[in-house]
């Protein structure tokens, strides 16, 4: 039996000229007010926000109530600076803004002549979101890169969200949110639809079979993400279950990369209760590398990653099979099938069946790659292009007859974005 599942360019190419709802799930913003030491608001103050990762800058003027809003911003760490004649400049660095988050920064300016003060803020460990009634969680870049995960499946981090329930192995198709079914979950990469085309349960093939593939969303390609488990605003739409908004990694002004190898081997495992005299075979290697950096400082950046998975595993089957006496009574039409069934090794309570123990060999090969370019044309124009592709092939026995099931999947996801800030 063979199944082929190919998803070509899940969400092709989107050109965005203004801040649109399609990007609202992943873009963040910084809001606040500017006042003096007496608490009086100051209108017309220039507020400059600079990305500490890429050097990209955005600037606005406070309104007549001293308030400002800077959006849309990519998830990153920012420096916020306020300048106004007659007052000393004030700068806040290390402002961490996560995917879909609203960060409040209130600035107090002191009269000129008083020494300027620089405040370093790494962001609160826990922050109450007062901008919305939504229930969810932000999983930061640090948590994605450092939390231990079995098999490096990013879906296991979804369980950090309130209302998330794991009713299986914690893979893509085993996590429910607030009582909704897995078919109602939605995943977006950089604001672009990334769930399965045929079935909205990621990791399922043809709405029936759980996918054995792990690298549809390679951990090496994920910067951070947000999970909305309930009460999210209407802009999300489509699914009514969990809403997962993933931000992919991009380059920065610093060259950074990684090389890794994870392995499992039956030499390190205990004997399975269903194994025979020898342990079932297991050889698993998960390896890859990534590299990102500047092509032009503060302007053009690149990021690329690759992750491979090779697994060879023995799968033991302990099942019943027709006994010799049962075959003697079988009609001639099915006698040719006798060679398909293994010979019984142990007698059962039913004389028509014997118990057999056999081991089949399963093989999995998967290759995932991604590439991204970011270009800061100016303070009002930003452009990026990103493409991800995963190629998976899986071969496994289904039962004691060692009949083989082959699965091939080629999920892809790409986006082109040109963003212009009008005002």
pLDDT in tens, 234-261: 777 667 788 888 889 999 999 999 999 9
Domain total of the chain: 2
Of the candidates 92, 120, 148, which is a domain's last residue? Answer: 120
Q: pLDDT tens digit string along 81-97?
A: 998 888 888 888 888 88
Q: What's 90's domain CATH number?
A: 2.60.40.1120
Neighbours of 120 (CB within 10 A): 10
As a whole number, mean pLDDT of residues 60-75 equals: 91
Lowest-confidence pick of 12-16, 318-322, 395-399: 12-16
Asked if residue 294 has pLDDT above 90, the reply is yes
Residue 337: inside a domain, yes or no? yes
Q: What is the mean pLDDT of the chain?
A: 82
Higher-confidence position of 233 and 321? 321
Among 64, 91, 120, the domain-final residue is 120
In a domain, 79, yes or no: yes
pLDDT value, residue 25:
60
244 in a structural domain: no
Q: State mean pLDDT over 74-80.
A: 90
Task: Flag whether 311 is in a domain.
Answer: no
Which of 23-37, 99-113, 309-323, 385-399 is predicted least confidently? 23-37
Cα four-point dihedral sign 323, 315, 169, 195? negative
Question: Strand runs (DSSP E) across 52-155, as ranges?
Answer: 57-61, 67-73, 76-83, 90-97, 102-104, 107-109, 117-120, 135-139
The pLDDT-based confidence of 24 (bands split at 50, 70, 90) is low
Q: Is the pLDDT of residue 166 over 70?
A: yes
Residue 65: the pLDDT is 92
Indicate whether 406 belongs to any domain.
Answer: no
| Structural domain contains residue 82 | yes
Mean pLDDT value of segment 216-223: 85
Q: Is residue 292 assigned to a domain? A: no
List residues bridging with 301 in a β-sheet. 294, 374
Boundary of a domain, candidates 120, 146, 177: 120
- Is 177 in contact with 162 (CB distance < 8 Å)? no
Task: Report pLDDT for 133.
Answer: 63
Name the pLDDT band for 423 (thresholds 50, 70, 90).
Answer: confident
Supply the range of the domain harboring residue 331.
317-356
Predicted pLDDT of residue 22 = 46
The string of DSSP letters for 357-410 reads: EEEEEEEEEEEEEEEEEEEE-SSSEEEEEEEEEEEEEEEEE-STT--EEEEEEE
Residue 100 within any structural domain of the chain:
yes
Percent of the chain with pLDDT over 90: 29
Residue 280 confidence class, pLDDT cut points 50, 70, 90? confident
261 versus 206: the higher-pLDDT residue is: 261
Phi-psi region of 9 (alpha: psi -120 to 50; beta: other; left: phi over 0): left
Q: Does the pLDDT of residue 132 top 80, yes or no?
A: no
């Amino acid at each position: 039996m063979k199944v082929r599942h190919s998803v070509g360019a899940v969400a092709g190419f989107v050109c965005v000229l203004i801040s649109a709802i399609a990007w609202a799930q992943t873009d963040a913003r910084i809001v606040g007010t500017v006042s003096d030491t007496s608490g009086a608001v100051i209108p017309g103050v220039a507020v400059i926000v600079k990305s500490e990762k890429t050097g990209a800058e955005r600037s606005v003027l406070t309104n007549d109530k001293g308030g400002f809003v800077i959006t849309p911003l990519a998830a990153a760490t920012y420096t916020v600076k306020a300048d106004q004649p007659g007052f000393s400049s004030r700068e806040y660095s290390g402002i961490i803004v996560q995917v879909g988050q609203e960060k409040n920064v209130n600035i107090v300016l002191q009269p000129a002549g008083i020494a300027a003060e620089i405040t370093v803020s790494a962001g609160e460990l826990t922050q109450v979101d007062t901008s919305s009634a939504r229930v969810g969680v932000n999983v930061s870049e640090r948590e994605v890169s450092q939390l231990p995960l079995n098999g490096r499946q990013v879906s296991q981090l979804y369980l950090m969200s309130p209302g998330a329930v794991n009713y299986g192995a914690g893979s893509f198709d085993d996590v429910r949110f607030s009582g909704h079914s897995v078919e109602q979950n939605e995943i977006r990469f950089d604001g672009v639809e990334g769930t399965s085309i045929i079935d909205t349960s990621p990791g399922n093939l043809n709405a029936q079979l759980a996918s054995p593939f792990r690298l549809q969303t390679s951990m090496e390609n994920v910067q951070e993400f947000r999970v909305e488990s309930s009460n999210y605003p209407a802009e999300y739409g489509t699914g009514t279950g969990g809403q997962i908004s993933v931000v992919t990694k991009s380059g920065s002004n610093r060259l950074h990369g990684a090389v890794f190898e994870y392995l499992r081997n039956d030499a390190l495992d205990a004997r399975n209760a269903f194994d025979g005299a020898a342990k079932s075979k297991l050889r698993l290697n998960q390896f890859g590398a990534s590299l990102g950096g500047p092509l032009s400082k503060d302007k053009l950046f690149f990021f690329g990653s690759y992750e491979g998975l090779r697994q060879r595993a023995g799968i033991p089957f302990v099942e019943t099979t027709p006994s010799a006496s049962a075959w003697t009574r079988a009609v001639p039409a099915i006698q040719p099938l006798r060679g398909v069934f293994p010979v019984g090794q142990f007698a059962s309570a039913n004389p028509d069946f014997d118990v057999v123990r056999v081991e089949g060999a399963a093989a999995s090969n998967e290759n995932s790659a991604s590439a991204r370019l970011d270009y800061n044309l100016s303070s009002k124009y930003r452009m990026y292009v990103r493409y991800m592709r995963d190629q998976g092939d899986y071969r496994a026995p289904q039962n004691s007859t060692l009949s083989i099931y082959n699965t091939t999947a080629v999920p892809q996801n790409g986006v082109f974005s040109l963003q212009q800030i009008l005002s």
